[in-house]
Structure 1
Amino acid sequence: MKTPNKIIRTDKWQLKPTPEQKLLFGETVKVYRRACRYLVGIIYTHWSDLGSLTADLLTPAVERLMHQTAKRPDIKYPQFNKAFYKFPSYYRRAAIAFAAGLVSSYVTRYSEWRSGTRKRRNASPPRLNANTGCYPALYKGQCYKLHGFDQVEIKVFNGSDWIWTGVQITGLRERHQVASNKMMSPSLIFNERYCHLSVPFNCKPEKRKPEANVTAVDLGINTTATIAVVTHSGTVIHREFIHPGRDIDRRDKRLKSVSVRASKTMGKGGKLHKGFCSKTYQKAARINNQIGHIVSKRIVQIADQFNSEAIVFENLKGWKPKGGRKRSNLRQRFHGWLKAKIRDFTLEKWAELGGKVIEVVAAYTSKLAFDGSGKVKRDSKNYAHATFSSGKRFNADLNGAYNIGARGVLKLTHRNGSEGRSSKSFGRPPRSWASLCDLWATASPRLA
């Protein structure tokens, strides 16, 4: 899995405005959104001329249509300066950039709809919605002034004029402390629930000098994530089980309440209305996000602690769960399996540190014993337990993590991308079905 070339991450800087400043922020957001709606109409009207321009040329082209100056007294839309008196130039340019992006997106989607690229045959055409919930982007020196990391001055609208107001910063993260990170223009996020600066950073991680090991991750249902740090010689130097049970119970309790309320609503028959228990589903989705961040954060911490070459996951794309026995909750548990979410969050966090994530073939990672003794037998009462052909009892998820780590090492060390045995002789397993014992076999000649 390739890491993105350009890494943009956003921090949230909490603000503590006074009641008077809250009114100023509300007025600023309100007038900025009005300006964006006005500019959407202008840009869409002249999109045939503006659509082919680059971002650097589009902004002055729009200003020539609506911004009156001493050198440019005659313009096509003089109403803008009258409706938005003393509107700051950098707020105006930010609004132009937002409105142009909105129009460009609409034109593209409408062209695709006309060409027949639709989710449904009877899909309605897209609409140009200028009434969007955008927030003002702030340019350094013109829209905001940073005084250390304790206070920030922001240019705001008081109803008749644009003034500066200083507001306290009460909480921020650590990305501003990294010397290689470049701070970009923040946005002022203000509504009834939130008041903070959304601060993007262009992250440029330093070149890593990793150790000869990988961090293997087995994503399961009984245990959310099982970690094994495997060296190139096949030595397991760390193992760990990550399972935020409290958050999982909170999520499952809410989802269980949905079925109870559904039975009370429908009785023995009937149909649920659209949006039934939508708030509960949204809450469960937010808990899933929290679980994904907790697990991925710990995975990256382990990989960073052991300075691993890569984090290794199974390639589970396209995998579909099979239901269990009658009246079992296995299918519901598979729906709560956060395999893609944890992998994606891990990729984002690990890429910020300059690491890479790779995927290996998922077949037979848990079915083959890591010691090469053949297939394992899973316990019917407790699927997390496995029995080797030698009679040895072992954790099935940990066995899978060992094999995932071995395949990751082989994928990194073999130029042809092979993940296992190079032999194609009859009766041997496919080369992608490597186990931990294959690393022992390749390491033994070197040790000798």
Structure 2
Amino acid sequence: MIIRKPIIRTDKWSLNPTTEQRLLFAETVKVYRRLCRHLVGVIFTHWSELGTLSTQKVIPAVERLVHQTSQNPDVKYPGIDQAFHKFPSYYRRAAIAFAVGQVSSFVTRYQEWQSGIRNRRDAKPPTLNANAGCYPSLYKGQCYKLHGYEQIEIKVFTGSDWVWTIVQISGLRERHTVDSNKLLSPSLVFNQRACHLSVPFECHPEKRQPNTHVVAVDLGINTTATVSVVTFDGTVIHREFIHPGRDIDRRDKRLKSVSVRASKTMGKGGNLHKGFCSNTYRKCRNINQNIAHHVSKRIVNIAKQFNAQAIVFENLKGWKATGGRKGSTLRQRFHGWLKAMIRDYTEMKWQEVGGQTVDVIAAYTSKLAYDGSGVVRRDSTNYALAKFTSGKRYNADLNGSQNIAARGILKLTCRKDSEERSSKRPGRSPRSWACLCDLWTLNSQVSTDTTTSRQRVV
């Protein structure tokens, strides 16, 4: 029996607090983090007893150590209640859960380091970070009250007491509009640059009844993503090229300025200081994320439009570029290839709808002609074009996406895993190197067998 993990996605709800509310939020985050630091020390001291408890039992066990009640008058650490007077119980339990996670992570990493599981031979032991930049989790009814989707009432700390304050919600996403999504406990994120709620949702997509289509994606260098929608009988019903050239130019222009500034800083030799052009690299990373989100969103929209059964990608995990000399433009383009980011974002968005993602072997997807004519040759002046043995010229990425679709369809329809088996025919390439023409051949054989069986019945 396969147990599926729940799909958790997080929305950002922007807040519009007043100047007084900003001071209250800052004080709330400050006192919450201070309590977390105290709890980390307590939990680490008693980890030999607490580490064996389940998640449901560990929080009450820590409370019995630090929180004094009529039923628990004698606590081992009464100073915490004195230092954090009238601290809300649900905020305290959220802080305990965070501190337990911090200590558990440290203990696991330290045990791995002791047993020799290290990235480097001279790796230093991990340290327990009690001063982590955490944010308070809000429990419904106790820490926050939602008034529609325009206002939210949050319990905050004034410096001496805990009070309720109503703040305006200025920006939302769309996940709260889906009836099947379950809203979980949000977190109040407040610092010098941000003031919003991080709102997780447990998504329960409806059961789909897809058509016999797949959306195949070829992630390339010349074109960011080449998409083909192919039916199970090998008919290509849609083709599309996705290439946000303006954003790519913005990123490359910034990266080019780094080399210019580096040459002016150190001349022909020397070393750059740590953090050189860190702001520029940060902007480039943000541009890459923006590109990946836009491309993945368009791929998912195409899959929704045609009600596809699956989105098919090449399995490029662990792939490393071999072409291009060090420092060349080609090597830089390979370095900026967003193959993993686009694939991961697409899978996350497509899972939320209830779709399936398939990975196929990447060997010979662009090298073999989709019509079965054999190995193609790349144009010497334009590498994006491929020349078939028949003399036909075709887009190499489009040819590859159609072959990717064929392999995905065979993987979905074959009973046994055709990706792992090799062909029984001598002199023929493995079945994992299937092309679009193999779907045509398979479909014609099925049609012939069906006609023959009908004639026998008659």
Could you state the TM-score of these two structures normalised by the residue count of structure 2? 0.95
CA 1:82–1:362: 2 relative to 1, 3 Å: same
What pairs with 1:398-417 in structure 2 (closer than 5 Å)?
Answer: 398-417=398-417
1:103 is paired with a residue whose SS is helix
Shift of 1:327: 7.7
CA 1:327–1:19: 2 relative to 1, 3 Å: closer
Shift of 1:232: 0.5
Bigger mean CA deviation after superposition, 87-96 or 260-269: 260-269
CA distance in 2, matches of 1:276, 1:67: 48
CA 1:152–1:372: 2 relative to 1, 3 Å: same
CA 1:57–1:422: 2 relative to 1, 3 Å: closer
What pairs with 1:208-247 in structure 2 (closer than 5 Å)?
Answer: 208-247=208-247
1:260 is paired with a residue whose SS is helix
Counterpart of 1:302? Answer: 302
Counterpart of 1:271? Answer: 271
The answer to whether the aligner puts 1:367 opposite 2:383 as a matched pair is no
How big is each residue's C-alpha offset from its partner over 1:310-362, in whole Å with a ceiling of 9 and x where there is no partner? 10011112222123379851111100111111111111111111111111111
Q: State the superposition RMSD in angstroms.
A: 1.7
Where in structure 1 are there 5+ consecutive unaligned residues?
none
1:14 is paired with a residue whose SS is strand
Shift of 1:273: 2.2
Identity %: 72
CA distance in 2, matches of 1:388, 1:75: 80
- Would you say the 8 A contact 1:300–1:346 is kept in 2? yes
- Would you say the 8 A contact 1:3–1:351 is kept in 2? no
Counterpart of 1:160? Answer: 160
What pairs with 1:32-51 in structure 2 (closer than 5 Å)?
Answer: 32-51=32-51
CA distance in 1, matches of 2:198, 2:309: 32
1:228 is paired with a residue whose SS is strand
- Would you say the 8 A contact 1:421–1:438 is kept in 2? no
CA distance in 1, matches of 2:43, 2:423: 63
- Would you say the 8 A contact 1:420–1:434 is kept in 2? no
Counterpart of 2:95? Answer: 95
Counterpart of 1:418? Answer: 418
Shift of 1:292: 0.8
The answer to whether the aligner puts 1:120 opposite 2:156 as a matched pair is no
CA 1:153–1:438: 2 relative to 1, 3 Å: same
The answer to whether the aligner puts 1:74 opposite 2:54 as a matched pair is no
How big is each residue's C-alpha offset from its partner over 1:341-386, in whole Å with a ceiling of 9 and x where there is no partner? 1111111111111111111111111111111111111111111111
CA distance in 2, matches of 1:49, 1:107: 13
CA distance in 2, matches of 1:446, 1:416: 18
- Would you say the 8 A contact 1:407–1:435 is kept in 2? yes
Aligned-partner residue type, residue 341 of structure 1: M
How big is each residue's C-alpha offset from its partner over 1:376-397, in whole Å with a ceiling of 9 and x where there is no partner? 1111111111111111111110
Counterpart of 1:378? Answer: 378
1:437 is paired with a residue whose SS is helix
Question: Aligned residue pairs: how many?
Answer: 447
Aligned-partner residue type, residue 340 of structure 2: A
Shift of 1:445: 3.5
CA distance in 1, matches of 2:319, 2:104: 36
Counterpart of 1:143? Answer: 143
CA 1:67–1:328: 2 relative to 1, 3 Å: closer
CA 1:326–1:200: 2 relative to 1, 3 Å: closer
CA distance in 1, matches of 2:437, 2:16: 58
Counterpart of 2:320? Answer: 320
Counterpart of 2:428? Answer: 428
- Would you say the 8 A contact 2:59–2:96 is kept in 1? yes
1:240 is paired with a residue whose SS is strand
CA distance in 1, matches of 2:8, 2:375: 44
- Would you say the 8 A contact 1:3–1:357 is kept in 2? no
Counterpart of 2:52? Answer: 52
CA distance in 2, matches of 1:360, 1:22: 51
* Structure 1 outlier segments of 4+, above 6 Å: none
CA 1:86–1:254: 2 relative to 1, 3 Å: same
- Would you say the 8 A contact 1:11–1:198 is kept in 2? yes
- Would you say the 8 A contact 1:27–1:158 is kept in 2? yes
Aligned-partner residue type, residue 98 of structure 1: F
The answer to whether the aligner puts 1:188 opposite 2:188 as a matched pair is yes
Aligned-partner residue type, residue 436 of structure 1: L
CA distance in 2, matches of 1:195, 1:30: 14
- Would you say the 8 A contact 2:218–2:314 is kept in 1? yes
